[in-house]
A = this chain, B = another copy of it.
Amino acid sequence: MTDRSNPVVGRIRDQAMGVYERIRQKAKPQMKLPIRSLANVKYRPQAGYFQLSGRNKVRTMTVGTVKTFAQSLKMMAMSQDLIRTGRHSTKREAYYQAYNWGDAAFAAQEESDTVMDDVEAMLGAHREAMHFRADEHGGEVAGELIVIDRDRKSGRRLEIDCARFGSGAYSVPTVVEELGFRTAAKFILAIETKGMFERLVEEDFYSRHHCILVSMGGVPSRACRRFIRRLADDRGIPVYVFTDGDPYGYFNIYRTLKVGSGNAAHLNEFFCVPQARYLGVTPDDIVEYKLPTHPLKEVDRKRAMDAMRNDPFIQHHKPWRAAMERLLKMGVRVEQQALAKHGLEYVASEYLPRKLKAIDKFLP
């Protein structure tokens, strides 16, 4: 991609030109950026994610702000360089590259991370589009999907067949912006644990049910959410989510996948999966499938109460409030692997097929 056609490069130039023009006019240079705090966040049911309410702050260059001001401009210049050379930099590498910025060098990585977040919000672009990435796993994939990427050396198109990895899987990279997809799969199944993911691979679930399995490995990383989102949007396929039946599975994993997280509201537009629906394990399943449970821990109760009091997503969705109240009344939690009580293959041969016949009963 030439940098002229890249929208992020365009916005970087606009910001830089704004600063330049103010200087030419002998006025103090300014940058405008949205306020990134929970007080400036709303849950938008139509859009399906947490959104900024639109309040901005203006950062004017003064003696007190000159260092941050310089760092923001240098960070944008670094991003432009990365896009130009087709490279990506981890947040940590960005911090070390800034060692050479003289007086504008960062004292610690937290400082450079904050400036990166500011620039993200300022440009209205997520850091992956600016060619920055975190040091995180992106999840694993197996199933009826061809991922289209490019060979780094030759630039040749690569087709990666996620149904041809045997007992292994495709590991999602931390930046997925330029991946393409080809699939005839009927749905994506996002799974909490690698153990359950490998169970379903072993049971040949994806070819029996024509789907794509994604192992999130706990709370899904940005890369994992972005991958599912781009794939689901691009191919118009539904996303079903399969986690443990406990407040952590419901609010930390499912809710983060579906609507994003409160403290990164300027990014949720890109990193949420509004089309996600919750398949299980629900409190009703505990009774219906006679599943072994464990008592709710104090931390589970606290998490549930917090969510019911403060989480706009739960407050908006009655079925979730009802499910949560039921679980609290039962006083238990259930793990997805509890289905193994009925035999290892039960989850693939009975539980999921029965669930998939009543998609309208999935929690929102």
Using a CB–CB cutoff of 8 Å, the interface residues on chain A facing chain B are 87-90, 92-94, 96-97, 99-100, 133-138, 140, 147, 149-153, 158, 160, 164-175, 179, 193-195, 198-199, 201-202, 204, 207, 217, 292, 335, 337-341, 343-345
Complex CA gap A339/B133 in Å reads 17
**Given A135-B195, A137-B137, A149-B167, are A202 and B341 also a contact pair (CB < 8 Å)?**
no
Q: Is the CB of B149 within 8 A of A166?
A: yes
A150: chain B residues within 8 A (beta carbon): 166
CB distance from A47 to the nearest CB of B (A): 29
Q: How far is the CA of A283 from the CA of B133 in the complex (A)?
A: 28
Partner of A173, one of B137, B147, B168, B179: B168
- CB-based contact A90/B199 at 8 Å: yes
A90-B337, A194-B137, A195-B135 are known contacts. Are A168 and B172 too (CB-CB below 8 A)? yes
Q: Judging by beta carbons under 8 Å apart, are B160 and A168 in contact?
A: yes
| A170 and B167 form a contact (CB under 8 A) | no
- Contact call A198/B169, Cβ cutoff below 8 A: no
9 intermolecular pairs with C-beta atoms under 8 Å apart: A88-B198, A88-B202, A90-B195, A93-B195, A93-B337, A93-B344, A96-B339, A138-B168, A151-B164
A198 x B151 contact (CB < 8 A): no
B99 close to A341 (CB less than 8 A)? yes
Specify which chain B residues have a CB less than 8 angstroms from the CB of A89 in the assembled complex: 340, 344
Cα separation A245 to B175 with both chains bound (whole Å): 27
